[in-house]
Amino acid sequence: MVQYVWQEEIQGTPMFRLWERLKKLRHLLYDWSRAGTTNSLRNIKTLQAEVDKVKSIHPVDWDEVRILETELSRQWEAEEIFWQQKSRVKWLKKGDHNTAYLHTVTRARRKRNFVSGLRNGEGDWVTDETGKATIATNFY
């Protein structure tokens, strides 16, 4: 992805070209990350149901149970790592399934970082996203 974006021809100053490439790369990476993480809990539930189903059939195929439980463990680990990274809690020990806690920490961080409005040059309070973006762009 990085190579694809960096090879694309962009006109403008060197700083503008860098900015455009980083912007395009950010969107590609965001889409890529969303595609892989949106169904992790659904995958965990599906795998758990498959494990229960295989265990309920007699005779039990223990090789298949082992394979499914290994994959289930990998999915839980991926979910845990995702929320560790999202919450920025560095002291959280691997192995805890504290997703409710991590969701809360992430939401609190997002709320704390949210800019509800900005004052424009005339002193008016602007709350719409387009207006805030314009004020921020003009400021920097």
HSE of 44, CA atoms in CB hemisphere, 13 A: 14
Please say whether the beta carbons of 54 and 64 come within 8 A.
Answer: yes
Count other Cβ atoms within 10 Å, centred on residue 58. 5
- The per-residue pLDDT string of the chain (140 residues; one tens digit each, 9 = 90 and over) reads 788 888 889 899 999 999 999 999 998 888 887 766 556 778 888 888 998 888 888 888 888 888 988 888 888 888 887 777 776 655 555 555 667 777 888 888 888 888 888 999 888 999 888 898 888 888 87
How far apart CA 105 and CA 99 sit, in angstroms, is 10
**pTM for this entry:** 0.41
Domain ranges of the chain: 1-38, 40-114
Backbone angles phi, psi at 11, to 5 degrees: -90, 145
Read off the pLDDT of residues 7-22 as tens digits, 9 standing for 90 and up: 889 899 999 999 999 9
- What is the C-alpha separation between 138 and 136, in angstroms, rounded? 5
pLDDT by residue (tens digit) across 54-66?
888 888 888 888 8
| Amino acid identity for residue 5 in this structure | V
